[in-house]
Amino acid sequence: MTYTAVVPARSGSKRLPHKNVKLLGNRPLLVWTLEACIHSKYIDEVMLSTDSIDYWDTAKKYLHSHKLQLDLREPEDASDTVKIFDYLKGKRTKLFGNRAGAFILALPTVPLRRAKHIDEAIALFESSGNPVFSATNYGFPISFSFSISESGNWESLFPHSPMHSGNTRSQNQTDFYHPNGAIYVRHISDLSSNSLKSLYANAVPYLMSRDESVDIDSEIDFKVAEALL
Protein backbone atom coordinates (compact mmCIF):
# COMPACT_ATOMS: atom_id res chain seq x y z
CA MET A 1 0.00 0.00 0.00
CA THR A 2 1.20 3.50 -0.81
CA TYR A 3 0.74 6.42 1.58
CA THR A 4 0.52 10.12 0.77
CA ALA A 5 0.71 12.68 3.55
CA VAL A 6 -1.06 16.03 3.29
CA VAL A 7 0.05 18.89 5.55
CA PRO A 8 -2.29 21.90 5.15
CA ALA A 9 -0.72 25.25 6.02
CA ARG A 10 -2.63 28.27 4.80
CA SER A 11 -1.17 31.74 5.28
CA GLY A 12 -4.24 33.53 6.57
CA SER A 13 -4.21 32.77 10.30
CA LYS A 14 -5.97 35.63 12.10
CA ARG A 15 -5.47 34.90 15.80
CA LEU A 16 -1.71 34.45 15.36
CA PRO A 17 -0.66 35.77 11.94
CA HIS A 18 1.67 33.48 9.97
CA LYS A 19 1.88 31.05 12.87
CA ASN A 20 2.67 28.20 10.48
CA VAL A 21 6.10 29.70 9.75
CA LYS A 22 6.73 31.17 13.20
CA LEU A 23 9.90 29.74 14.72
CA LEU A 24 9.42 27.00 17.28
CA GLY A 25 12.81 26.17 18.71
CA ASN A 26 15.18 26.18 15.75
CA ARG A 27 12.73 25.76 12.88
CA PRO A 28 9.38 27.08 11.58
CA LEU A 29 6.26 25.44 12.94
CA LEU A 30 5.21 23.68 9.72
CA VAL A 31 8.65 22.10 9.31
CA TRP A 32 8.17 19.93 12.42
CA THR A 33 5.17 18.17 10.89
CA LEU A 34 6.64 17.91 7.39
CA GLU A 35 9.79 16.39 8.86
CA ALA A 36 7.83 13.84 10.91
CA CYS A 37 5.97 12.75 7.77
CA ILE A 38 9.16 12.56 5.71
CA HIS A 39 10.79 10.32 8.33
CA SER A 40 7.85 7.90 8.44
CA LYS A 41 8.86 4.49 7.14
CA TYR A 42 5.46 4.12 5.44
CA ILE A 43 4.93 7.47 3.70
CA ASP A 44 5.93 7.75 0.04
CA GLU A 45 5.03 11.39 -0.61
CA VAL A 46 4.57 14.43 1.63
CA MET A 47 2.46 17.22 0.20
CA LEU A 48 2.54 20.75 1.62
CA SER A 49 -0.90 22.16 0.79
CA THR A 50 -0.66 25.94 0.95
CA ASP A 51 -1.67 29.16 -0.74
CA SER A 52 1.77 30.68 -0.11
CA ILE A 53 4.87 30.21 -2.25
CA ASP A 54 6.81 31.77 0.63
CA TYR A 55 5.71 28.87 2.85
CA TRP A 56 6.88 26.43 0.18
CA ASP A 57 10.25 28.20 -0.05
CA THR A 58 10.54 28.02 3.74
CA ALA A 59 9.86 24.29 3.72
CA LYS A 60 12.48 23.66 1.01
CA LYS A 61 15.03 25.74 2.91
CA TYR A 62 14.85 23.40 5.90
CA LEU A 63 13.98 20.10 4.22
CA HIS A 64 15.74 18.39 1.33
CA SER A 65 13.78 15.29 0.46
CA HIS A 66 12.46 13.77 -2.76
CA LYS A 67 9.25 13.02 -0.84
CA LEU A 68 8.36 16.71 -0.47
CA GLN A 69 5.78 18.03 -2.96
CA LEU A 70 3.67 21.18 -3.31
CA ASP A 71 -0.11 21.50 -3.58
CA LEU A 72 -0.60 25.18 -4.36
CA ARG A 73 -4.08 26.29 -3.38
CA GLU A 74 -6.08 29.09 -4.95
CA PRO A 75 -7.03 31.89 -2.51
CA GLU A 76 -10.67 30.80 -2.47
CA ASP A 77 -9.54 27.34 -1.34
CA ALA A 78 -7.53 28.73 1.58
CA SER A 79 -9.94 31.05 3.39
CA ASP A 80 -10.85 30.53 7.03
CA THR A 81 -14.31 29.33 5.95
CA VAL A 82 -12.95 26.33 4.01
CA LYS A 83 -12.77 23.12 6.03
CA ILE A 84 -9.82 20.90 5.21
CA PHE A 85 -12.20 17.91 5.01
CA ASP A 86 -14.21 19.64 2.28
CA TYR A 87 -11.01 20.57 0.45
CA LEU A 88 -9.77 16.97 0.53
CA LYS A 89 -13.07 15.71 -0.87
CA GLY A 90 -13.56 18.44 -3.44
CA LYS A 91 -9.96 18.44 -4.70
CA ARG A 92 -9.19 14.74 -4.34
CA THR A 93 -8.34 14.36 -8.04
CA LYS A 94 -6.01 17.38 -7.93
CA LEU A 95 -4.31 16.02 -4.81
CA PHE A 96 -4.10 12.32 -5.53
CA GLY A 97 -4.85 11.87 -9.23
CA ASN A 98 -5.72 8.25 -9.93
CA ARG A 99 -3.60 6.93 -7.10
CA ALA A 100 -4.92 4.18 -4.88
CA GLY A 101 -3.62 3.60 -1.38
CA ALA A 102 -4.22 5.77 1.68
CA PHE A 103 -3.62 9.33 2.79
CA ILE A 104 -2.43 10.81 6.05
CA LEU A 105 -3.67 14.23 7.10
CA ALA A 106 -1.32 15.89 9.60
CA LEU A 107 -2.09 19.37 10.89
CA PRO A 108 1.04 21.55 11.29
CA THR A 109 -0.25 23.04 14.54
CA VAL A 110 0.57 19.80 16.42
CA PRO A 111 4.37 19.91 16.19
CA LEU A 112 5.30 17.38 18.88
CA ARG A 113 3.88 14.43 16.96
CA ARG A 114 6.81 12.40 15.69
CA ALA A 115 7.41 9.91 12.89
CA LYS A 116 7.00 7.05 15.38
CA HIS A 117 3.45 8.20 16.14
CA ILE A 118 2.61 8.31 12.44
CA ASP A 119 4.06 4.83 11.96
CA GLU A 120 2.09 3.47 14.92
CA ALA A 121 -1.14 5.03 13.60
CA ILE A 122 -0.55 3.53 10.15
CA ALA A 123 0.21 0.15 11.72
CA LEU A 124 -3.13 0.38 13.56
CA PHE A 125 -4.83 1.29 10.27
CA GLU A 126 -3.40 -1.83 8.65
CA SER A 127 -4.06 -4.19 11.55
CA SER A 128 -7.59 -3.00 12.34
CA GLY A 129 -8.81 -2.54 8.78
CA ASN A 130 -10.38 0.77 9.85
CA PRO A 131 -9.55 4.43 9.32
CA VAL A 132 -7.62 5.99 12.22
CA PHE A 133 -7.57 9.34 13.96
CA SER A 134 -5.29 10.43 16.80
CA ALA A 135 -6.70 11.55 20.13
CA THR A 136 -5.72 12.43 23.67
CA ASN A 137 -7.46 12.59 27.03
CA TYR A 138 -8.86 15.76 28.56
CA GLY A 139 -6.66 17.42 31.14
CA PHE A 140 -9.51 17.67 33.65
CA PRO A 141 -12.44 15.27 34.16
CA ILE A 142 -15.28 16.48 31.93
CA SER A 143 -17.78 14.81 34.26
CA PHE A 144 -17.59 18.14 36.14
CA SER A 145 -18.77 20.05 33.05
CA PHE A 146 -21.69 22.43 33.45
CA SER A 147 -23.42 25.20 31.59
CA ILE A 148 -24.76 28.45 33.00
CA SER A 149 -28.40 29.33 32.49
CA GLU A 150 -29.74 32.81 31.74
CA SER A 151 -30.57 33.12 35.44
CA GLY A 152 -26.94 32.50 36.33
CA ASN A 153 -27.42 29.02 37.80
CA TRP A 154 -25.13 26.13 36.85
CA GLU A 155 -26.58 23.07 35.14
CA SER A 156 -24.55 19.87 34.94
CA LEU A 157 -24.12 18.26 31.53
CA PHE A 158 -24.13 14.71 32.88
CA PRO A 159 -26.97 13.08 34.85
CA HIS A 160 -24.58 11.50 37.36
CA SER A 161 -22.35 14.53 37.77
CA PRO A 162 -19.98 14.38 40.78
CA MET A 163 -21.21 17.90 41.53
CA HIS A 164 -24.52 16.25 42.44
CA SER A 165 -23.32 12.92 43.84
CA GLY A 166 -20.39 14.26 45.81
CA ASN A 167 -18.16 11.55 44.33
CA THR A 168 -15.47 14.07 43.44
CA ARG A 169 -12.31 11.95 43.70
CA SER A 170 -10.48 12.33 40.39
CA GLN A 171 -9.55 8.64 40.50
CA ASN A 172 -13.25 7.75 40.30
CA GLN A 173 -13.94 9.76 37.15
CA THR A 174 -14.19 8.16 33.71
CA ASP A 175 -11.54 9.17 31.20
CA PHE A 176 -12.82 10.99 28.13
CA TYR A 177 -10.87 11.78 24.98
CA HIS A 178 -10.89 14.24 22.09
CA PRO A 179 -9.25 14.32 18.63
CA ASN A 180 -5.91 16.15 18.68
CA GLY A 181 -5.48 16.83 14.95
CA ALA A 182 -2.07 15.18 14.74
CA ILE A 183 -2.87 12.21 12.49
CA TYR A 184 -5.72 10.97 10.30
CA VAL A 185 -5.33 7.86 8.14
CA ARG A 186 -7.84 6.48 5.66
CA HIS A 187 -8.17 5.16 2.12
CA ILE A 188 -8.08 7.76 -0.64
CA SER A 189 -11.09 6.05 -2.23
CA ASP A 190 -13.21 6.99 0.82
CA LEU A 191 -13.11 10.61 -0.31
CA SER A 192 -15.24 9.80 -3.36
CA SER A 193 -18.12 8.57 -1.20
CA ASN A 194 -21.03 11.01 -0.92
CA SER A 195 -21.98 9.42 2.39
CA LEU A 196 -18.66 10.34 4.05
CA LYS A 197 -19.36 13.34 6.29
CA SER A 198 -16.22 13.41 8.45
CA LEU A 199 -12.82 11.79 8.88
CA TYR A 200 -14.08 10.10 12.05
CA ALA A 201 -16.63 7.89 10.29
CA ASN A 202 -15.96 4.20 11.11
CA ALA A 203 -12.53 5.19 12.46
CA VAL A 204 -10.68 3.94 15.52
CA PRO A 205 -8.67 6.20 17.85
CA TYR A 206 -4.91 6.14 18.19
CA LEU A 207 -4.13 7.56 21.63
CA MET A 208 -1.32 10.02 22.32
CA SER A 209 -0.25 11.75 25.51
CA ARG A 210 -1.28 15.34 26.22
CA ASP A 211 2.37 16.44 26.03
CA GLU A 212 2.61 15.05 22.50
CA SER A 213 -0.72 16.65 21.57
CA VAL A 214 0.02 20.34 22.19
CA ASP A 215 -1.96 22.31 19.61
CA ILE A 216 -0.57 25.72 18.64
CA ASP A 217 -3.26 28.40 18.55
CA SER A 218 -1.73 31.22 20.59
CA GLU A 219 1.55 32.68 21.77
CA ILE A 220 1.30 30.84 25.07
CA ASP A 221 0.92 27.54 23.19
CA PHE A 222 4.31 28.25 21.61
CA LYS A 223 5.78 28.76 25.09
CA VAL A 224 4.35 25.42 26.25
CA ALA A 225 5.69 23.61 23.18
CA GLU A 226 9.12 25.20 23.61
CA ALA A 227 9.23 24.11 27.25
CA LEU A 228 8.33 20.54 26.28
CA LEU A 229 10.96 20.52 23.55
Q: Using one digit for the tens of pLDDT, what is the confidence trace for 174-208? A: 899 999 999 999 999 999 999 999 999 999 999 99
Whether residues 53 and 134 share a domain: the answer is yes
148 with 42, same domain?
A: no
Please give the pLDDT value at position 62: 97
Domain that holds residue 162: 142-172
Interatomic CA distance for residues 178 and 116, integer angstroms:
20
* 12 shares its domain with 86: yes
191 and 168 part of one domain: no
Task: Please provide the size of the chain in residues.
Answer: 229
% of the chain exceeding 90 in pLDDT = 86
Residue 16 has pLDDT above 80, yes or no: no
Residues 146 and 190 in one domain: no
For residues 52 and 103, membership in a common domain is answered with: yes
Answer with the one of 152, 172, 192 that is the final residue of a domain: 172
**Is 49 a residue whose pLDDT tops 80?**
yes
> What is the spatial distance between Cα 9 and Cα 30, in angstroms, rounded to a whole number?
7
**What's the pLDDT band for 8 if we cut at 50, 70, 90?**
very high
Report helix, strand and coil shares of the chain as percent, to nearest 5: 35, 25, 40
The whole-angstrom separation of Cα 108 and Cα 136 is 17
pLDDT band at 33, cuts 50/70/90? very high
| For residue 122, pLDDT beyond 80 | yes
Q: Are residues 184 and 85 in the same domain?
A: yes
Does residue 21 surpass a pLDDT of 90? Answer: yes
**Is residue 132 domain-shared with residue 146, that is, in the same domain?**
no
Q: Are the C-beta atoms of 33 and 108 separated by less than 8 Å? A: yes
Q: Are 157 and 182 contained in the same domain?
A: no
Does 56 share its domain with 156?
Answer: no
> In this structure, what CATH number is given to the domain that contains residue 221?
3.90.550.10
Report whether pLDDT(166) > 80.
yes
Whether 160 and 188 share a structural domain = no
Q: Is the pLDDT of residue 15 over 90?
A: no
Coil/strand/helix, residue 76: helix
Tell me the per-residue pLDDT of 71-87, one tens digit each, with 9 for 90 and over: 999 988 888 888 999 99
Q: Is the pTM of this model over 0.85?
A: yes
Number of domains forming the structure of the chain:
2
Give yes or no: residues 82 and 44 share one domain: yes
State yes or no: pLDDT of 170 exceeds 90.
no
